Amino acid sequence: MIARTISKKLGVNIDHVATLRQARLGEEPSVLEAALEAEQGGADSITVHLREDRRHIQDADVFELMEKIYVPLNLEMSVSPEILKLALKVRPPKACLVPEKRKELTTEGGLDLFSRKSPLIRTLDALLAKKVEVSLFIDPVEAQVREAARLGTYAIEIHTGSYANAMGKKKEREFFRVREAARLGQELGLHVHAGHGLNYENIFPLLAVPEILEFNIGHSIVSRAVFVGLAKAVQEMKKIIQAEGIGPKNSG
């Protein structure tokens, strides 16, 4: 059983810094500088998604981050052989396997662990053999959580997009699904993470779920950074997660 007293951690996704850079295909803003600013704000890890179409993060970014940041790099990746080949060269401390569709604006849901089984197992086993801590990005569904445990992964990251986008009673139902998936994950010996669509307000109910040990947040932090700077935006979120402060609307 994983101890419930472990302090919750914050992983900061900086993909959208690269999105801004790629809008002009130049060098600004610097992805590395963004990562270092996030570290100063208290990020426990830096997350980047190396997509197959390279729409934001580039191969060179991954290698540079691996070399120059101080906190662990968490590489979000598909099970594409090309992406796996690069990941095995980089050997990041952490990797999160995610589904990927070329035309989606952002990841639309969790992995289905019962489809494309061979590529998934090949990717998972190859990363585990290199001592990479692998998490599987899944929807809060009991069968998916149980399959993740059966596959022998280190952690699951619960897709919170449906929770983040829901309203009223539906939001309560989605919160319940996330909570129950987190509880089951811990019971099965998995580390439980959560992410997608989380911001400075909707994260509060999830903080009451003790089984969730880590939150991975990107868009809302980068958006907040436009007004206060990235280090401060990360610091504000970190305080919320550690229950040491309040959200930006009330922080003065």
For residue 87, CA distances in Å to 70, 204, 244 come to 19, 34, 36
The rounded distance, in Å, linking the Cα atoms of 3 and 82 is 37
Q: Which two tokens stand for residue 192?
A: 């439980």
What values do phi and psi take at 245, rounded to 5? Answer: -155, -170
For residue 209, CA distances in Å to 53, 153, 215 come to 35, 21, 12
Which region, left, alpha or beta, applies to residue 186 given φ > 0 means left and ψ of -120 to 50 means alpha? alpha
- Cα torsion angle, 109, 112, 116, 120, sign: positive
Per the CB < 8 A criterion, the answer to whether 57 and 69 are in contact is: no
Per the CB < 8 A criterion, the answer to whether 138 and 114 are in contact is: no
Q: Which residues are catalytic?
A: 49, 76, 196
Q: Where are the beta strands (DSSP E) in 119-171?
A: 133-138, 155-159
Find residue 135's DSSP bridge partners. Answer: 96, 155
Residues sharing a CB contact under 8 Å with residue 209, sequence separation 6 or more, in sequence order:
178, 179, 182, 183
